[in-house]
Structure formats: C-alpha cells, structure tokens
Amino acid sequence: MAKQISELKLGILGGGQLGRMLIQEAINYNLTTLVLDPDHEAPCKHLANYFECGSITDFDTVYKFGKKADVITIEIEKVNIEALEQLEKEGKMVFPQARVIRLIQDKGIQKQFFKENDIPTAPFQLANTKEDLLNSSFPFPYMLKQRKDGYDGKGVMRINNIADLDNAFDSPCLIEELVDFEKEIAVIVSRNSNGEVKTFPMVEMEFNAEANLVEFLISPSTYPEHVQERAETIAKNIAAALNITGLLAVEMFITRDGQILVNELAPRPHNSGHHTIEGNYVSQFDQHLRSVFNLPLGDTRAINNAVMLNVLGEKGHDGVAKYQGLEKIMAIDGVYVHLYGKKYTKPFRKMGHITIVDQNREAAIEKANLIKETLKVIS
C-alpha cells in the first residue's frame, strides 16, 4: 500500500458496538472512518468522521458508500454482497473479501465448506421447508438453525420431538446433531494480505441459557496445551482455506469425549475477543486494522487473566437505559467498563461489557460474579 494508514479512509458497514470499538482503535492511527448504518442513532454516529444513515443491504446505498472509502470492512455479515463484489471489480479493497462474507452469511454453505475442507464439525442435514423437516429421518433431539440472518441466539431452536416441529422455522434451515459438549471455546485468528497469520489464545465461554448469549468469557483457557494448540491449528486451517484477509472468530465445542468441533464463524471482530482490549498486548480491534491494511500483526499473548462479562438489558425493562450499581463496580480493582452508547434498553439487549483483569484467575471470576449481581440495566 503506497499511502500510509493515516492517509486512508476506512468504510465500515454497520455502526454498532463492534464498529464503535474499531473506531476507538482507528483514532490512534489518525484514520478517517466512514460508517453506514440504518439506525440514525447508531453507537458509531458521534465517533465516525462521516456517518450515513442508510441500508447496508441495499445495492445502491452500499455501492455509493463504498466508493467514498479506500478500504471497506464490516461489523455485521448481513450486508449487500453484490455491491461489495462490484466494488472489488472496480479495484476497491474489501476485507474480509465479498466471497468470504457470502459463504459465512449462509450457515448451510458454511457447514458444507467445513465438510469439503475436513474441518471437524457436528453431523448435519439441509432442509428448505417445514415439510422437509417432517420427512427427515435425522434423529431427535437436534438443533435447528435458520441458514440466514440468525445472530445472538436468534434463529436457533432445539427440536426434541415431532411435536416441536409445529413451531419450527418454515424457511431454509440447517439440522444439526445436538452436541454433548463440555465447554464452548473460541479462537480468533488474524491474517493479512501477505499471508502472515496469528491466533489469540483460546478462550472459554459460559452461556446464559435463557438469552442464548455468552455471559462470561474467561481468558486464557486452563485446558492442556495440546488441546489449545489443536483449537488454534483448526482456526489457522480455516483462515488458510478461506484465504481470508482480516479477523476470523472461530466458535468451537469441546465434547465430553475430547473432540473439538467447529460451530460457527464470524469474519470480523467478535464478542469472544472483547477482553483483548485490556487483557492482551494487542486488541482484536487493533489486529483487525493491522490485517485489513496489510500491516505487521501484533503480539496476541495474554498479559493477565481476564474475564469478560456482557452487560445485558434486564427482563421487564424497555426504555431509556439507566445503569444501576455502576459506581459500586467501578470501586473494584481491575474493572474496566465499556458502554456502547445505546440510549434504549430492552430485555437481553447488549448494552456494554465489563472486563475484569487480575493476576489470580479465581479472583477475577469472583469479581465477575459480584458485578453480575450488582450492575443492572433498567429503564
């Protein structure tokens, strides 16, 4: 790249919290940031150098927006691929590449990609209609996932028996064997255009079953080194098979019999990497910028034990957000608060995250549990 990073314009499709944290990092490089988002009060609005309220799924809107930038990236996969493909043809740099986003937009194509590239994943079957589900011989219970547009626990349901099919999705879906897993883990891998690849240390996740969202994320993992190396190798193999430029989050299961199975991919900064802002030498957001601008990748090692806690809107609260207990948690050592600039809360909406850094892993987890009980987002 002939120009320096500080002379370039970065276009971001999506103006949510991931874009906001990416801009917070981009400011350190004097980067000019442009954001397109359909919400006129998106979290990125007041941080971006240029903010446009518009559809990220409309061809003309995305195409015209992309023409203004030197490098285009995403913070959400649900974007207009055809516009990005056209921009690539005209010489614009789109990272991750449009073909990668296309593959990841469809969970069915994603699973077929795993199969074709010998990536370990749970057995699956594709279905186009509810009738296909009724005619399927796939054994119960299983997970049913909509092939497109599912995120943060939406578009996913457990099917226990034939009666559950009454409420099943009547759209293209993925039937997936129910994995008896011991732990959900994630590895974030970064790759620049030179082919330099680095992984962040494997992290462990604890889920909120009701919201189907990550509640706690613990870094680094305490699994044996050979398990962590295997997970990191799988992530590197996927990045190489995709030939991706940018960041790739690889969500995986460790089964009770010791297998590692890939669940899903996200070709962008991800919830499983938020702890890296304070917990690692380089953050996932810095690494994403280094990747897409083809700069040397940073040191991904963990500095300390870190626990990340998602701050979710309380049940029964819908309205202007108020943060109850914020001062109390800020009095605790090693606590870092990240609020996402969302004016309104609703049940289980991601309103922010808290990272707790401590030399003692158990102490960090204890603090996270205390914060979970203390900090409430109400209206």
What average pLDDT does the segment 16-25 reach?
98
Q: Residue 162 — pLDDT band, cuts 50, 70, 90?
A: very high
Q: Find the mean pLDDT for residues 119-134.
A: 94
- Interval 135-163 mean pLDDT: 89
Among all chains, which residue has been given the structure tokens 């098979």? Answer: 241
User: What phi and psi, each to the nearest 5 degrees, are found at residue 328?
Assistant: -60, -45
- C-alpha triplet 76, 250, 253: angle, nearest 5°: 125
Predicted local confidence at residue 178, as pLDDT: 93
- CA dist 314 and 166 (Å) reads 30
Percentage with pLDDT > 70 across the chain: 97
Q: CA–CA distance from 88 to each of 71, 73, 145, 287, 369 (Å)?
A: 10, 12, 31, 22, 46
Task: Name which residue leads in pLDDT, 210 or 94.
Answer: 94
- Predicted pLDDT at 5: 85
Q: How much is the mean pLDDT over the chain? A: 95
Q: Whole-prediction pTM value?
A: 0.95
∠ Cα 375 378 379 (to 5°): 155
Rounded average pLDDT over 77-104 = 97
Assess whether pLDDT exceeds 70 at residue 152.
no
Segment 353-366 mean pLDDT: 97
Report for 1-10, 163-172, 225-234: range of highest mean pLDDT = 225-234
Same fold yes or no, 123-177 and 181-378: no
pLDDT of residue 213: 67
Reply yes or no on whether the pLDDT at 198 is more than 90.
yes
In whole angstroms, what is the distance from residue 250 CA to residue 144 CA? 20
**What is the spatial distance between Cα 151 and Cα 122, in angstroms, rounded to a whole number?**
19
What average pLDDT does the segment 288-315 reach? 97
> Given pLDDT bands bounded at 50, 70 and 90, which one contains residue 65?
very high
| Known binding residues | 107, 145, 176-179, 184, 263-264
Mapping DSSP onto H, E and C, the string for 124-175 reads EEEECCHHHHHHCCCCCCEEEEECCCCCCCCCEEEECCHHHHHHCCCCCEEE
Residue ranges at the known binding site for ATP:
107, 145, 176-179, 184, 263-264
Mean pLDDT of 274-285: 98
State the amino acid at position 246 in one-letter form: G
pLDDT of residue 211: 65
Two tokens at 252? 């995986």
Given this model, what pLDDT does residue 2 score? 60
CA-CA distance, 147 to 173, in Å (whole number)? 5
Residue 67 φ then ψ, to 5°: -65, -25
Q: How confident is the model at residue 206 (pLDDT cuts 50, 70, 90)?
A: confident
What is the pLDDT averaged over residues 266-278?
Answer: 97
Instruction: Kindly state the average pLDDT of the residues 302-315.
Output: 96
**Domain spans in the chain, listed from the N-terminal domain onward:** 5-95, 123-177, 181-378
Q: Which residues pair with 261 in a beta bridge?
A: 253
User: 287, 347 in Cβ contact below 8 A?
Assistant: no
Can you tell me the mean pLDDT for 203-228? Answer: 86
Per DSSP, 302 falls in state B
CA–CA separation, 167 and 193 (whole Å): 45
43 closest CA partner among 25, 21, 16: 16
| pLDDT (average), residues 305-329 | 97
State mean pLDDT over 239-252.
Answer: 98
**Burial, 138: exposed, middle or buried (Cβ in 10 Å; 0-12, 13-18, 19+)?**
middle
Q: How far apart are CA 40 and CA 54, in angstroms?
A: 8
* 5-95, CATH topology level: Rossmann fold (3.40.50)
Fold observed for domain 181-378: D-amino Acid Aminotransferase; Chain A, domain 1 (3.30.470)
Task: Give the orientation angle of helix 17-26 with respect to helix 284-292, to 10 degrees.
Answer: 70
CA distances from 220 to 54, 269, 273, 370 (A): 39, 18, 11, 20
The DSSP secondary structure of 74-124, one letter per residue, reads ESSS-S-HHHHHHHHHTT-EESS-HHHHHHHH-HHHHHHHHHHTT--B--E
Please give the pLDDT value at position 17: 98
Quickly state the pLDDT bin for 212 (edges 50, 70, 90).
low
CATH number of the domain at 123-177, please? Answer: 3.30.1490.20
